[in-house]
Structure 1
Amino acid sequence: MKTSKRLTVAFWIVTVLFCLEMSFTAYYELLVLPQAAHAFTRLGFPTDSFRVELSWAKIVGVLALLIPAAPPRLKEWAYAGFAINLISALIAHISIHDRTAAFIPSSITAVLWTFSYISWRRLETERGSTR
């Protein structure tokens, strides 16, 4: 298998796993209301407007990453938004001195984000895109 084909397969596997994780968290935040509201309150965030805004932003970002025809600039913004979200989640957990197990989901998702972003940038470079 050619390197670019391997890279493409690796990119889609990692990106789909990352997008599944972000979709599950958006679903939880939007539809599992009492528990999600409690989790946001525990981390020091407003329970309603911010939670809904964050969830919809995740859904839009997931769509931007999964639609191949989405413009590269839109994908770049989606990756940036997810990076801010993941860093903020880690900081929020640190700020309340959360238990170690609370860092596992955010950390795994951050690793998936990193591999997805790096492989996407390599694929863009191979395509000769300098956007």
Structure 2
Amino acid sequence: MSASGKASKGLVITFWIFTALFCVEMLFTAYFELMMLPQAAQAFTRLGFSANAFRIELSWAKVAGVAALLWPMARGQRGLISTLKEWAYAGFAINLISALIAHLSISDRPLALVPSATTSVLWAFSYFSWRRLQTQPMAD
């Protein structure tokens, strides 16, 4: 934190870099799951999930979660928006952990874990930098 009591530029930049990368990855997977129907359906079926309803629900939840993470915080809305962001982060954490478990449960090749593991690292940097920013006073 700087002498003025506001968040450091470095923390803000770190947050936005990792959040942007994380959101791009989540939107890419949602797009793949919604638009690349045969391949996405096969991937879900191979992991033991429903090829239709669950895939669509999960994809739209990712889009909604990204919207929540990117929604700007305004004065007077910090509590509500903060709560929505917290739920989005929680949902993404459950999604990423579940993806890793699904791949491990079918004894998938180690390389199949890389996308979920990498995205989990992006999630962690985004979430923990966001939590640090939450402890800082809002700029006017």
Q: Same fold (TM over 0.5)?
A: yes
Higher helix share: 1
User: Equivalent residues in 2 for 1:1-131 (5 A)?
Assistant: 4-69=8-73, 71-127=81-137
* Secondary structure of the corresponding residue to residue 49 of structure 2: coil
* Secondary structure of the corresponding residue to residue 37 of structure 1: helix
> Any conservation in 2 of the 1:4–1:123 contact (CA below 8 Å)?
no
Count of residues in Structure 1 that have an aligned counterpart in Structure 2: 127
How far apart are the structure 1 equivalents of 2:93 and 2:137? 24
TM-score by length of 2: 0.88
How far apart are the structure 1 equivalents of 2:72 and 2:88? 13
Q: Which runs of 5+ in 1 are unaligned?
A: none
Q: CA deviation at 1:127?
A: 2.3
| CA deviation string 1:18-69 (max 9, x = no partner) | 0000000000000000000000000000000000000000000000001113
* Secondary structure of the corresponding residue to residue 126 of structure 1: coil
How far apart are the structure 1 equivalents of 2:65 and 2:8? 25
Q: CA deviation at 1:126?
A: 1.2
How far apart are the structure 2 equivalents of 1:71 and 1:26? 23
Instruction: List 4+ stretches of structure 1 deviating above 4 A.
Output: none
TM-score by length of 1: 0.94
Aligned identity (percent) is 66
Deviates more, 1:2-11 or 1:117-126: 2-11
Whose radius of gyration is greater, 1 or 2?
2
RMSD over equivalenced CA pairs, Å: 1.2
